[in-house]
Amino acid sequence: MSLLEVEELTLQFSNQTAPTVSNISFHIDAGEMLALVGESGSGKSLTALSLLNLLPEGCSRQARQLSLNGKDLLNLTKLEQYALRGSAIGMIFQEPMTALNPLHTVEKQIGEALYLHTKLDKNKIKNKTLELLSKVQLKPEKSFLQRFPHQLSGGQRQRVMIAMAMANSPKLLIADEPTTALDVTVQAEIMQLLKQLQRELNLAILLITHDLPMVRRYADRVAVMQAGKLIEEGATGALFENPQAPYTQQLVAAVLDQTAPASDPNTPVLMQARNIEVAFPTPRTSLLRKPARFKAVRNISLVVRKGETLGIVGESGSGKTTLALALLKLLPATGTIVFSGTQVQHLKGKTLRRWRARCQVVFQDPWSALNPRLTIGQIITEGLLVHQPSLSSTAVAAKLNAMLREVDLPEEFQHRYPHELSGGQRQRVAIARALILEPQLIVLDEPTSALDRSVQHQVLGLLQRLQKEHQLSYIFISHDLQVIRAMSHEVLVMYRGEVVEEGATEDVFQNPQQDYTQRLLEAALIS
């Protein structure tokens, strides 16, 4: 008998005619990792929450069987449900910054999980907390216990979440997108930690993710969901080698395995930057002393060629975005920037505004980058009102319709608002907003990191097509090396504000010279 048995589970909201999750069945054995994969909205997270009966208001669950270690989960009292959560079943949520209480220290967050289920005294709780920190490879020090979530890195916050979930030795651990917002090296560390806990404690893990390369490396079995239905299930190796359902075939095909495009050294240079440095003042420690300055970007030079892509990779905090903002003159910096033969570091006023029309940016999160109060049409044409105010309303409408077609969106979408679009559709709107000004250079700052793999594949294909049709130059910032390899002609590898390696992308990927680059490639499973 399996540890977790789910038979004919259906979840339905009272205000909807069709169920959100329909009649799905699966099981998980002790010591096994089952990956539940599918696009956003397929019902993965809702299925996981149903195991703990943490469903949103108005959502009901029905099942022929829902049991953990032989115990029925459908008819528990409220007290029994409270006892189940955090003891028999632990959960790691997707975004640790919102899942952790910002007003509580690490000690209090983990200690609370212990106290609610064990009623241990303070000394025993502290000792157990230190033991848990050691188990998740964090420093078991009293100073660390007193830190707040904002004082931790993304990887440290996720490890604290794992410590909380493992505090009471659960039999089943639910990991809902546990590495989505993390760098590739930290992702590998977190997944290796989960596999270690799985082996040592004979722990069953339900891994919810849309990262198929991760699934292929770590999961024992895979269950594929589409539109609330379980359409395929099987051993990981067999499913990836021979997917049966058309949707699974589409997901597997969406995994990026493209090699980098070749760069042509004879291609004209669009932008050249030399000795770029960006420094920020550190907090003042004395009224009499001038505050020190922290160098976020150190002495970086680069070249962007016409119609080509320069990829910039590195961990969070390496200075990738800071460098891009400096190149766009959105941050004060020292050094020289030459764009199409014009030195731009001293441009001001109207001259600077005209130049900025030639350089546009697409941000990481399309939800926060789009004004929720404006229609899609207003968002896309907003730049025209600033840079081309003499255009007639007829000309603006024509440009808008042409741009919607360019990014494969229906023209009627111009009357919708951002919340009415999917993540991939919102990112297409952000691309259209940048493209409508006919720029020569677009900075793409993690433009696909918030998207599912299949949607990511579509957006990258769109960017490649637009680059060829309009001879666009891209600066592509990402910590996803598969994406960089598929998109970039040349690459810079950044670490702590410096470029540690650069060159033609395929040369760097096939023959990395620096230890840091080798670690990045190893963590990303790139060979």
The full DSSP string for 120-185 is: --HHHHHHHHHHHHHHTTS---HHHHT--GGGS-HHHHHHHHHHHHHTT--SEEEEESTTTTS-HH
Around Cβ 100, how many Cβ atoms within 10 Å? Answer: 21
d(CA 127, CA 140): 9
Which tokens sit at 293? 């300055």
Contact by Cβ (8 Å): 336, 274: yes
Q: List Cβ neighbours of 250 (8 Å cut-off, separation of 6 or more).
A: 454
Question: 8 is written with which tokens?
Answer: 């004919």
Closest CA to 260 of 185, 306, 214, 311: 311
pLDDT of residue 242: 92
Question: Residue 449: CA atoms inside 13 Å, Cβ hemisphere, count?
Answer: 21
Task: Give the CA angle between residues 139, 142, 147 to the nearest 5°.
Answer: 80
User: Sign of dihedral through CA atoms 124, 125, 128, 133?
Assistant: negative
Q: Is the dihedral of CA 315, 345, 505, 472 positive or negative?
A: positive
174/48 Cα distance (integer angstroms): 7
SS3 26: strand
3-class secondary-structure state, position 199: helix
In whole angstroms, how far apart are CA 202 and each of 187, 228, 310? 22, 30, 45
Q: Mean pLDDT in each 10-residue stretch from start to end of the chain (527 residues)? A: 91 87 94 90 88 89 92 90 87 78 88 80 85 82 83 80 86 87 77 89 90 88 92 93 90 73 88 92 69 84 95 86 92 93 88 90 82 94 90 93 92 90 85 93 86 79 92 91 90 92 92 89 70
Closest alpha carbon to 480 in 261, 316, 313, 363: 313
Domains observed in the chain: 4-253 (3.40.50.300), 269-358+440-523 (3.40.50.300), 369-438 (no CATH)
User: What is the structure's pLDDT at 266?
Assistant: 87
Burial of 474 (0-12, 13-18, 19+ CB in 10 A): buried
- In degrees rounded to 5, what are phi and psi of residue 59? -105, 125
Q: Is 92 left (phi over 0), alpha (psi -120 to 50) or beta?
A: beta
Dihedral of the alpha carbons of 207, 209, 213, 219, in degrees to the nearest 10: 10
pLDDT recorded at residue 295: 86
pLDDT at residue 257 in the model: 64
- Tell me what pLDDT residue 501 has: 94
CA proximity to 232, closest of 31, 24, 5: 24
DSSP state of 432: H
Residue 250, pLDDT score: 84
Instruction: Specify the pLDDT at position 269.
Output: 94
- The answer to whether residues 201 and 144 touch, using CB atoms and an 8 Å cutoff, is no
Nearest 5°: phi and psi at 53? Answer: 55, 45
pLDDT attached to residue 432: 93
Cα–Cα distance measured from residue 222 to residue 207, given in angstroms and rounded to the nearest whole number: 9
